[in-house]
C-alpha cells in the first residue's frame, strides 16, 4: 500500500510538472496523462484479477490440468451446490422486495410528522453498523439454551437469546433458529432486511419529498386520499427511485458473505455463492471450483448493473 501511494504521488508530480512546463502539450496528452494512473490501477486491481479468475475456473483444484466446463457442471448439478444456488436466489428475491417495502411504508408513514427526524434516524441506525457487527448482535438475539434442571430438579426457563426468552414467557419452547433448515435461511435474511431497510427509506423518502406540490394538490382536489394517493400518485412518481433501490440492494445481496460466515459459517444448508467460493478456494483448496463460483456470481451481477445504469440514464433524460 505504501509503495502504491508513493508511486501515485511520483506519477502525479511528474504530470503536474510536465503540464506546467510544457505549455503547448496537446489536450489528448494531458487527458491521457491524468487517466493513466487510474487505468493502471483498474487494470492490475480489477481487470487482471477478473480475467485470471475466469481463466482459473477452467482448471482443476490446483490449476495443473485443464478440465473445461467441469467446474461449472459441478456447480449446477451437485446437490450441495444446488442448495447454495437456491439459497442465493431466495436472498436476491426476498431481501430487495422486503427492504424496499418496509423502507417505503416507513417513509410514507413518518413523512412530515412531528418526530420525522428522530424516527428516520432510528431506521437508518443499522446502516451504520458493519455486517459482522450486526451478525453478532443477531446471533445473541437467536441464541438458544436448553432447558436444564436447577438444584431442585425444576427446568430453568432463563434464555440468553431475546427471541427465545419471549417464547418462554408466552409458554413456548425455545427454538434453535439457526440450525433448523430451511427456515434458518429466513432468519439470516431478516438481518440483511433490517440493515437495508434504512437505506431504502432514505432514498425513497427523498424521492417522496421531491414530488411537486402542485401534483399532490391536484390529486387531493380530485378526491384522492390515503391508499389511493399512495397508489396513483406516490408510487408512480418515485418509480425511478424504486428501481434504483431494488437493483442496488439486489447487487449487495448477491455478494452477501459476512452475515452467513459470521452466524452459521455456511453450515446447516445456509451457504450462498459468495460464501461458497470462499470456502472452496481457501478452505477446501479447490481453486478451480472456487473460481467458477466467483465467475457465476460476476455473471449474475452484470445484468443488474446494466439495468441500473440504464434506468438512471432514463431518469436523467426525463429530468
pLDDT computed for residue 192 by the predictor: 95
Alpha-carbon distance values, 165 to 137, 145, 180 (Å): 15, 10, 18
Q: Which residue has the cell 493502471?
A: 40
pLDDT for the residue numbered 147: 67
pTM reported for the whole predicted model: 0.83
CA angle 149, 154, 160 (to 5 degrees): 55
- In the numeric block, the cell 436444564 is attached to 148
Q: Which residue has the cell 461458497?
A: 276
Report yes or no: 273 and 297 within 8 Å, Cβ to Cβ.
yes
Residues of the chain with confidence (pLDDT) below 50? none
What is the pLDDT, as a whole number, of residue 315? 66
pLDDT at 100: 94
User: What's residue 142's pLDDT?
Assistant: 92
Which pLDDT does position 87 carry in this prediction?
94
pLDDT of residue 151: 60
Residue pair 289/75 in contact (Cβ under 8 Å)? The answer is yes
Amino acid at each position: 500500500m505504501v509503495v502504491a501511494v508513493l508511486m501515485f504521488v511520483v506519477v502525479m508530480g511528474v504530470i503536474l510538472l510536465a503540464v506546467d512546463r510544457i505549455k503547448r502539450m496537446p489536450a489528448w496528452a494531458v487527458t491521457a496523462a491524468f487517466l493513466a494512473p487510474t487505468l493502471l490501477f483498474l487494470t492490475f486491481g480489477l481487470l487482471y484479477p477478473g480475467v485470471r479468475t475466469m481463466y482459473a475456473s477452467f482448471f482443476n483444484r490446483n490449476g495443473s490440468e485443464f478440465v473445461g466446463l467441469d467446474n461449472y457442471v459441478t456447480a449446477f448439478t451437485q446437490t450441495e451446490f444446488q442448495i447454495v444456488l437456491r439459497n442465493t436466489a431466495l436472498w436476491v428475491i426476498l431481501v430487495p422486495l422486503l427492504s424496499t417495502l418496509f423502507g417505503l411504508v416507513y417513509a410514507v408513514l413518518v413523512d412530515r410528522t412531528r418526530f420525522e427526524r428522530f424516527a428516520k434516524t432510528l431506521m437508518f441506525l443499522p446502516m451504520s453498523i458493519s455486517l459482522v457487527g450486526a451478525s453478532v448482535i443477531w446471533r445473541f438475539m437467536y441464541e438458544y439454551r436448553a432447558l436444564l434442571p436447577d438444584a431442585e430438579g425444576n427446568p430453568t426457563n432463563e434464555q440468553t437469546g431475546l427471541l427465545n426468552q419471549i417464547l418462554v414467557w408466552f409458554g413456548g419452547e425455545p427454538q434453535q433458529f439457526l440450525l433448523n433448515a430451511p427456515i434458518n435461511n429466513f432468519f439470516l435474511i431478516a438481518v440483511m432486511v433490517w440493515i437495508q431497510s434504512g437505506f431504502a427509506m432514505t432514498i425513497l423518502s427523498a424521492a417522496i419529498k421531491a414530488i411537486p406540490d402542485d401534483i399532490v394538490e391536484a390529486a387531493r382536489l380530485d378526491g384522492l386520499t390515503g391508499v389511493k394517493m399512495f397508489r396513483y400518485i406516490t408510487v408512480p412518481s418515485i418509480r425511478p427511485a424504486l428501481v434504483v433501490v431494488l437493483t442496488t440492494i439486489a447487487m449487495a445481496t448477491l455478494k452477501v458473505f459476512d452475515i452467513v460466515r459470521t452466524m452459521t459459517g455456511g453450515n446447516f444448508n445456509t451457504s450462498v455463492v459468495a460464501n461458497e467460493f470462499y470456502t472452496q478456494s481457501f478452505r477446501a483448496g479447490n481453486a478451480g471450483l472456487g473460481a467458477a463460483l466467483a465467475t457465476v456470481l460476476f455473471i449474475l451481477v452484470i445484468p443488474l448493473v446494466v439495468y441500473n445504469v440504464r434506468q438512471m440514464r432514463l431518469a436523467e433524460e426525463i429530468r
